[in-house]
Structure 1
Amino acid sequence: MNECFIGKPRIKITWLIIAITLPVTVTAILLCFPGKLIKNDINTFQSASIIVRTIFSAGLGAGIVEEMVFRGMIMRAFDKRFGKMTAIILPSFIFGLIHLIGIKMDIISIVLLLIAGTSVGIMFSLIVYESGSVWCSAIVHGIWNVIIIGRILNISGVYHDKAIYSYKLVSESVILTGGEVGIESSIVPVLGYIVVIAFTLFLMKRKVENCNN
């Protein structure tokens, strides 16, 4: 398990800060675009149920399991067989492809999903290599899921009546709304992934330089 970066749970404060900052910043930027905020007719018990399911299913469940599988076992297997570069890129592309299963969408939405899925996969992979632990990518993944794709505040190009709050963007641009995939594949999150990728590469470069000095 340690060989697959799945050791004793430990989180670096840097990645806890990123885990919160990334989705909050993306949310804040998206809310700056014209849209309509709707508080759905959901009682306190239903709201509590949505929050609990979001935290444990989308957050802890999907976040931890997907990171252990993709950035733990699969990435490590590719690393040993093909090297680090392939281990970062190929499983990340597969990560994007997996999200196409069972979903019918147009070609533009498919392209957006593959770009976003591969980008976020690369981001998670680099976090694991920088931190040496899949738990760091899991906390980033989990908190992202809770804030962005959970049903507490849903930001989308369409109205969602199952969320506590729904923010329907006025724009019809698929670049902003993410098309049929949803906001995760829009330009704002993708730019966020790229910023974190650049930051992670900087940390990795600095670590190498410190080791050489």
Structure 2
Amino acid sequence: MTSFLITGDPYPNNAPNGGNGSTGVKGNQGNPGKSDYNDSNCSYYCVTPPGNGGTGGNGTDGIAGSAGAKGKPAPPTTLNLGIVTDNVSIRAGGGPGQNSGNGGVGGMGGPGGEPGTPDSNNACTKASRGSQGRGGRGGNGGNSGGGGDGTTVIANYKQLNNGSSITPSTFRGLPGRSGAGGSAGGNAGNSGYNGYNGATGPFGSDSVINIRQVP
């Protein structure tokens, strides 16, 4: 059997992935504690307890993946088959769309701020470190590239010998793979949200194969 495939070339690489988000800033340190002396009972007492550290800043969101490019079209083609002595297969359709990039991971939340400095006489209850900031949202996946457009193929032949044939078939260019949404940044309990998966592009347009006998 003799086969002809008329289509667009596939892309060698996926579209670029999105970058990851950045870690949030560290929270502010709490205010220092203050104590004073009580002359009446000869003891120290807490005037102002030290403040807890501030909550860390939120991580920034991941960057969206890049969209895939549309598939490459099938080239217009003329086949001059002459006298056909074999079974000939002709397939035509657009090339596949480019796979899109995945979304980037959301940034980690910033660390909590340091607790306020205890008073020098330890009369006040010690403060706590601040909470970690919320993680950033994952970047969205890119939309995949649509399938490439079809074409018109003309297949000329002079004669079909006994047992020979010309079999045409067409296909529509397939869309690429859509990008996955990036994971949320942060730890359990204070993470952001995952990004959304990208949309899938459309199929390419139809092809036409015209077979005709010529002198």
Query: What is the TM-score when the length of structure 2 is the normalising length?
Result: 0.17
Q: Which structure shows the higher strand fraction?
A: 2
TM-score, normalising length from structure 1?
A: 0.17
Structure with higher helix content: 1
Q: Which has the larger radius of gyration?
A: 2
